């Protein structure tokens, strides 16, 4: 049995609550069990300097963990002094979102996505990507309703989930207790139509086999399909 009592192919309780930030063009409070992340999307009528004149827009993300999101207080990270982990995660979020939006249809504008971890219990990056898509899509719907753009440039959904080998068995959506002891840990970013955007997989001890990886991928596809269905219910 898993420490949580869940089946090995069972997600934690997932919640996607929209409209939680009054001033943001798009927002979502995403909960994967005890991992809670506030995702907001801000519309910006400018693009990064290196993109100006190119006729396309951009989506970028910032990620951070609040000081008491974990068992012990951590120092608040200042921009420019962020850890390598933080920088890697926010780049991952940005890549994941850009994979499912038509940047030319966005025009010379950008969407700034912020993912702030309120409470962490494993899978903060995967929860962030799943909630960030909701926030980005809401911001695009807002822009289309205001006549800023002709139509929503989001082409597909994208969600993410973690999988790992727990006591030798493939398990879906690891919480911290499992993630900290897993023999292998993998994060999968998958579109609503089943396309792989990114896979991050690491053996924590002995190398894992092709069959074990295939089992993790199968779990991830099923898990992301379930998350995508929840996103679709909200997106309409």
Q: How many Cα atoms occupy the beta-carbon half-sphere of 100 within 13 Å?
A: 29
Kindly report whether the global pTM for this prediction surpasses the value 0.75: yes
Cβ atoms of 216 and 186 within 8 Å: the answer is: yes
Residues 75 and 73: their CA atoms lie apart, in Å, by 7
Taking only the tens place, the pLDDT of each residue in 15-46 is 999 999 999 999 999 999 999 999 999 999 99
Low-confidence ranges of the chain (pLDDT < 50): none
At residue 140's C-alpha, the angle toward residues 136 and 143, to 5°, is: 140
């Amino acid at each position: 049995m898993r420490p949580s009592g869940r089946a090995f192919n069972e997600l934690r309780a997932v919640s996607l609550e929209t409209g939680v930030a009054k001033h943001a063009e798009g927002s979502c409070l995403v909960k994967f069990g005890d991992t809670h992340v506030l995702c907001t999307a801000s519309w910006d009528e400018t693009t990064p300097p290196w993109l100006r004149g190119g006729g396309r827009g951009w989506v970028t993300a910032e990620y951070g963990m609040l000081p008491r999101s974990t068992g012990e207080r951590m120092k608040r990270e200042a921009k420019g002094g962020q850890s390598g982990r933080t920088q890697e995660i926010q780049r991952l979020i940005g890549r994941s979102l850009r994979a499912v939006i038509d940047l030319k249809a966005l025009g010379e504008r950008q969407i700034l996505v912020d993912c702030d971890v309120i409470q962490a219990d494993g899978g903060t990056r995967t929860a962030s990507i799943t909630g960030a898509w909701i926030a980005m899509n809401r911001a695009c719907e807002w822009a289309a309703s205001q006549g800023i753009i002709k139509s929503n440039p989001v082409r597909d959904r994208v969600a993410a989930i973690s999988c790992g080998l727990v006591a030798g068995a493939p398990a879906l959506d690891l919480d911290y207790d499992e993630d900290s002891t897993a023999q292998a840990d993998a994060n999968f970013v998958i579109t609503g139509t089943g396309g792989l955007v990114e896979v991050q997989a690491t053996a924590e001890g002995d190398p894992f086999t092709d069959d074990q990886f295939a089992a993790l991928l199968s779990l991830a596809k099923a898990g992301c399909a379930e998350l995508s269905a929840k996103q679709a219910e909200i997106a309409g």
